[in-house]
């Protein structure tokens, strides 16, 4: 199967309201170009350096998503072009994104990462921490960030019930945050969840953005 076939295969399994981010991390630009030449435009990376390098050399009509953990001091490198930052997990980062967006005369779309997995190592807010941030901090005064939803990663397990209930929990978080803080903000509606191993479950639970890497580009030699 070619990369474009893999993308089309996945697209055929999802409806128009679900966006597929083709996760190209660790893969060469040739692979991205193959997908690009097949008509695909939406790619995701999880490292600032790699994302910037690929942005530089690839066509400028690509929609780039930063899906990985992001350090505040690196925001400036992607602020000029990034389309969506998936993993905002602290207020300082949000403020920094706002500052860099302002410098670039842009409004940058962001998702709040919520910790839904059992693993300790995964980044993210708890639902309470998100509420605290939205209540205490001046999040609404940040003019150049646009919070459009939440993102999460399920536990790495074969147990579909565990994964399903974690995705359901994230879907509930989106609903709760929407009703408490974003009720008059129609574009707060995005649910970024689902990877190669679990995107079908994620879509069943209401995912609007799936982030799929290895099922499109093949396995990676190291797991990130």
Site for ligand PLP (CB under 6 A): which residue of 25, 65, 115, 122? 25
**Binding region for ligand PLP (CB under 6 A) out of 122-130, 172-180, 183-191, 213-221:** 213-221
Site for ligand PLP (CB under 6 A): which residue of 68, 124, 149, 152? 68
**Binding region for ligand PLP (CB under 6 A) out of 3-11, 93-101, 173-181, 195-203:** 195-203
Are 152 and 122 in contact, with CB atoms under 8 Å apart? no
Is there binding between residue 67 and ligand PLP (CB under 6 A)?
yes
Is there binding between residue 66 and ligand PLP (CB under 6 A)?
no
Q: How far is the CB of 166 from ligand PLP (least distance, A)?
A: 14
Q: How far is the CB of 82 from ligand PLP (least distance, A)?
A: 14
Please tell me whether residue 105 adopts helix, strand or coil conformation: coil
Tokens of 74: 């690196």
H/E element holding 20? strand 19-23
**Binding region for ligand PLP (CB under 6 A) out of 95-103, 119-127, 141-149, 210-218:** 210-218
- Listed in sequence order, the residues at least 6 apart from 119 whose beta carbon sits closer than 8 Å to its beta carbon are 155, 156
Q: Distance between CA atoms of 190 and 117, rounded to whole angstroms?
A: 19
Distances (CA, A) of 165 to 15, 95, 149, 162, 201: 22, 32, 19, 5, 10
Return the ∠ at Cα 17 (arms to 155 and 105), rounded to 5°. Answer: 90
Is there binding between residue 48 and ligand PLP (CB under 6 A)?
no
Q: Is 194 left (phi over 0), alpha (psi -120 to 50) or beta?
A: left
Site for ligand PLP (CB under 6 A): which residue of 211, 218, 221, 222? 211
Q: Distance between CA atoms of 103 and 14, rounded to whole angstroms?
A: 37
Nearest residue (CB) to ligand PLP, 144 versus 196: 196
Is there binding between residue 23 and ligand PLP (CB under 6 A)?
yes
- Listed in sequence order, the residues at least 6 apart from 191 whose beta carbon sits closer than 8 Å to its beta carbon are 149, 150, 151, 170, 171, 174, 206, 207, 208, 209
Site for ligand PLP (CB under 6 A): which residue of 195, 201, 202, 209? 195
Binding to ligand PLP (CB under 6 A) within 80-109 occurs at none
Is there binding between residue 152 and ligand PLP (CB under 6 A)?
no
Residues within the interface to ligand PLP (CB under 6 A) = 23, 25, 46, 67-68, 195-197, 211-215, 224
């Amino acid at each position: 199967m070619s990369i474009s076939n893999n993308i089309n295969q996945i697209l055929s399994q999802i409806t128009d309201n679900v966006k597929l981010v083709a996760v190209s991390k660790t893969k060469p630009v040739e692979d991205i170009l193959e997908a690009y030449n097949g008509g695909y435009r939406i790619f995701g990376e999880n490292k600032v350096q790699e994302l910037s390098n690929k942005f530089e050399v690839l066509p400028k009509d690509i929609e780039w998503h930063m899906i990985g953990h992001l350090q505040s001091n690196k925001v400036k490198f992607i602020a000029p072009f990034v389309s969506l930052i998936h993993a905002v997990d602290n207020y300082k980062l949000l403020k920094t994104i706002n500052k860099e967006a302002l410098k670039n005369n842009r409004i940058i779309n962001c998702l709040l990462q919520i910790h839904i997995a059992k693993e300790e190592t995964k980044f993210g807010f708890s639902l309470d921490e998100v509420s605290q941030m939205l209540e205490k901090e001046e999040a609404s005064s940040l003019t150049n960030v646009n919070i459009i939803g939440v993102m999460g990663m399920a536990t790495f397990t074969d147990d579909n019930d565990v994964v399903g209930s974690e995705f359901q929990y994230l879907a509930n978080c989106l609903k709760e945050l929407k009703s408490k803080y974003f009720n008059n903000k129609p574009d707060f509606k995005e649910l970024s969840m689902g990877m190669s191993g679990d995107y079908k479950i994620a879509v069943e639970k209401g995912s609007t953005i799936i982030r799929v890497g290895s099922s499109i580009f093949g396995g990676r030699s190291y797991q990130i």
